[in-house]
C-alpha cells in the first residue's frame, strides 16, 4: 500500500502531478525539458545543485536510495528548494536551464502567479525514479529512449560525460551492482578501467535502458510515457501532441523546432569503426530489443 500523499507547498502553490524527465545520458532530456519549461503554467528546473547533489549520491550509491522515508524526504526537500521562485535563484541553474528559460539577468525565469505545475529534467534523474514516486505518488514520468550508438557518439564529444569514466570513479567504496556505471560486479572493475571509452559509454547506455524497462513494471501505466528521441526531433508536433494528451495540459511544440540537435543515425559518420563495433558488441541485446538493429 502506498503511503498517504505528502502535500508539498512551494511559493504558496500546492505541488500536484509534477513532471519528471527520465533518460540515459545524451538522450534528449534537455530538449524535452526545454519544451516543458516554455509551456504555459510550468516551472521546470534542470540541473539545480540541490537536486544534482542528491541525484548523484543515489546514483553512485544505490543503497542510499533504499533507506525508506529518509531518502524520500531528502529528495522531496531538494526539489522544493529547486522550485523556489525568488530573486537570484536562477544563478544556481545550469547554463542549459538558463538558456531554456531565456534568463539574462538575476530575476527568476517565471512569475509565481503563473505557475500551476512543477517539473524537473535534470541529467541522470532516471536513477532516482523509485524515490521520486515515493516522494510524489501522483507524479508523471516521461522517459526518453535513443539509439545507443548516437548516444555514445555524443558522450564521446562531451567532457562532462567523460568525467565519469576516470579510474578514480571506481574505489573500494563503490557499490555493486552499479547501474550508473553499468557494472554488475566488482570483479569486472579492472576490465572496466582498461576498456576503451566507447565501451564504457555503451555500458552506461545499456544499463540505463535496462533500468528504463523496469519502470514499465514499477510505475502505473497512467503515470509513465515513453518517447523516442528520434520521434522528438523528426516529428516534434506529433510528440508535443502526445505529451500534451498524457499530461493533460498544452506542451509547447515551438521549443522543439529550430534546435541544432544531432539527427538519428549521425553515429555513422561520428564514430570510428572500432568504436562502433565495440558499442554494437556491448549493447547488441538492447539495440535489438529496441529495434535499432535487426536480428539478421
Q: What are 140-172's pLDDT values in tens digits?
A: 999 999 999 999 999 999 999 999 998 888 887
Cα separation, 20 vs 117, in Å, equals 11
Q: What number is the average pLDDT over the span 16-31?
A: 95
- Domain assignment present for residue 204? The answer is yes
Give the tens place of pLDDT for each residue, 222-234: 999 999 999 999 9
Domain-located, residue 247:
yes
Domain span including residue 223? 9-289
Exposed/middle/buried for residue 80 (C-beta within 10 Å: 0-12, 13-18, 19+): middle
Whether the Cβ atoms of residue 75 and residue 20 lie closer than 8 Å to each other: no
> 3-class SS at 127?
helix
Mean pLDDT over residues 126-138, rounded?
94
Is the pLDDT reported for residue 1 higher than 50?
Answer: no
Classify the C-alpha dihedral 118-121-127-129 as positive or negative. positive
Stated pTM of the model: 0.93
Residue 4 lies in a domain: no
Instruction: Supply the pLDDT for residue 6.
Output: 65
Structural domain contains residue 205 = yes
Residue 17 has pLDDT above 60, yes or no: yes
Q: Is residue 282 part of a domain?
A: yes
Number of domains present in the structure of the chain: 1
Confidence of residue 296 (pLDDT cuts 50, 70, 90): low
**Residue 97 covered by a domain:** yes
CA angle in degrees (0–180, nearest 5) for 224-228-232:
110
Is residue 110 one of the residues assigned to a domain? yes
Q: Extract the C-alpha cell encoding 204.
A: 552506461
Q: What is the pLDDT of residue 2?
A: 54
Q: Is the pLDDT of residue 272 over 90?
A: yes
- pLDDT, one tens digit per residue, over 45-92 is 999 999 999 999 998 888 887 666 889 999 999 999 999 988 777 777
pLDDT of residue 259: 65
* Domain containing residue 225: CATH number: 3.40.50
Instruction: Say if residues 102 and 34 touch (Cβ distance below 8 Å).
Output: no
Is residue 296 a part of any domain in this protein? no
Amino acid at each position: 500500500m502506498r503511503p498517504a500523499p505528502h502535500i508539498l507547498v512551494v511559493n504558496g502553490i500546492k505541488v500536484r502531478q509534477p513532471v519528471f524527465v527520465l533518460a540515459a545520458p545524451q538522450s534528449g532530456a534537455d530538449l524535452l525539458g526545454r519544451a516543458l519549461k516554455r509551456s504555459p503554467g510550468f516551472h521546470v528546473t534542470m540541473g539545480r545543485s540541490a537536486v544534482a547533489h542528491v541525484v548523484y549520491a543515489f546514483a553512485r550509491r544505490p543503497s542510499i536510495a533504499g533507506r525508506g522515508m529518509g531518502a524520500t524526504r531528502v529528495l522531496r526537500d531538494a526539489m522544493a528548494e529547486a522550485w523556489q521562485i525568488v530573486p537570484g535563484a536562477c544563478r544556481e541553474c545550469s547554463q542549459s536551464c538558463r538558456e531554456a528559460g531565456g534568463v539574462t539577468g538575476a530575476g527568476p525565469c517565471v512569475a509565481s502567479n503563473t505557475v500551476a505545475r512543477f517539473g524537473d529534467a535534470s541529467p541522470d534523474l532516471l536513477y532516482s525514479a523509485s524515490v521520486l514516486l515515493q516522494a510524489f505518488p501522483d507524479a508523471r514520468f516521461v522517459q526518453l529512449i535513443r539509439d545507443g550508438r548516437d548516444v555514445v557518439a555524443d558522450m564521446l564529444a562531451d567532457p562532462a560525460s567523460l568525467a565519469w569514466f576516470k579510474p578514480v570513479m571506481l574505489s573500494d567504496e563503490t557499490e555493486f551492482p552499479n547501474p550508473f556505471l553499468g557494472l554488475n560486479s566488482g570483479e569486472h572493475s579492472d576490465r572496466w578501467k582498461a576498456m576503451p571509452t566507447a565501451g564504457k559509454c555503451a555500458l552506461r547506455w545499456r544499463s540505463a535502458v535496462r533500468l528504463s524497462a523496469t519502470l514499465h513494471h514499477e510505475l502505473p501505466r497512467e503515470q509513465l510515457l515513453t518517447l523516442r528521441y528520434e520521434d522528438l526531433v523528426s516529428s516534434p508536433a506529433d510528440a508535443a501532441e502526445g505529451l500534451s494528451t498524457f499530461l493533460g495540459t498544452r506542451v509547447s511544440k515551438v521549443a522543439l523546432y529550430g534546435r541544432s540537435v544531432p539527427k538519428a543515425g549521425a553515429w555513422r559518420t561520428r564514430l570510428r569503426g572500432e568504436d562502433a563495433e565495440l558499442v554494437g558488441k556491448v549493447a547488441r541485446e538492447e539495440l535489438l530489443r529496441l529495434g535499432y538493429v535487426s536480428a539478421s
